[in-house]
Amino acid sequence: MPSEQRMPNLRNALTIDVEDYFQVSAFAPYIRRQDWESAECRVERNVNRILDMLAEHQVKATFFTLGWIAERYPQVVRRIVAEEHELASHGYGHERASDLTPQAFNADVTRAKKLLEDLSGVAVRGYRAPSFSIGLGNLWAFDELSRAGYAYSSSVYPIQHDHYGMPNSPRFAYRLASGLLEVPVTTVRLFERNLPSSGGGYFRLLPYAVSRWLLQRVNRREQESAVFYFHPWEIDVGQPRVPGIDMKTRFRHYVNISRMEHRLQSLLTDFQWGRMDEIFLRRPLPVSH
Position 165 contacts Zn ion (CB under 5 A):
no
Q: Toward Zn ion, which CB reaches closer, 25 or 256?
A: 25
Tell me the residue ranges of DSSP E strands in 119-207.
126-127, 152-153, 174-175, 181-182, 187-190, 193-196
Q: Toward Zn ion, which CB reaches closer, 7 or 129?
A: 129
Position 126 contacts Zn ion (CB under 5 A):
no
Position 130 contacts Zn ion (CB under 5 A):
yes
**Whether 257 contacts 236, CB under 8 Å:** yes
The CA distance from 156 to 177, in Å, is 16
The CA distance from 117 to 120, in Å, is 5
Position 67 contacts Zn ion (CB under 5 A):
no
Q: Smallest gap, in angstroms, from Cβ of residue 280 to Zn ion?
A: 20
Position 17 contacts Zn ion (CB under 5 A):
yes
Position 95 contacts Zn ion (CB under 5 A):
no
The CA distance from 168 to 50, in Å, is 33
Position 274 contacts Zn ion (CB under 5 A):
no
Q: Toward Zn ion, which CB reaches closer, 42 or 212?
A: 42
Stretch that binds Zn ion, among 19-27, 72-80, 172-180, 241-249 (CB under 5 A): 19-27
Sign of CA dihedral 204, 210, 216, 220: negative
Binding site for Zn ion (CB under 5 A): 17, 19, 130
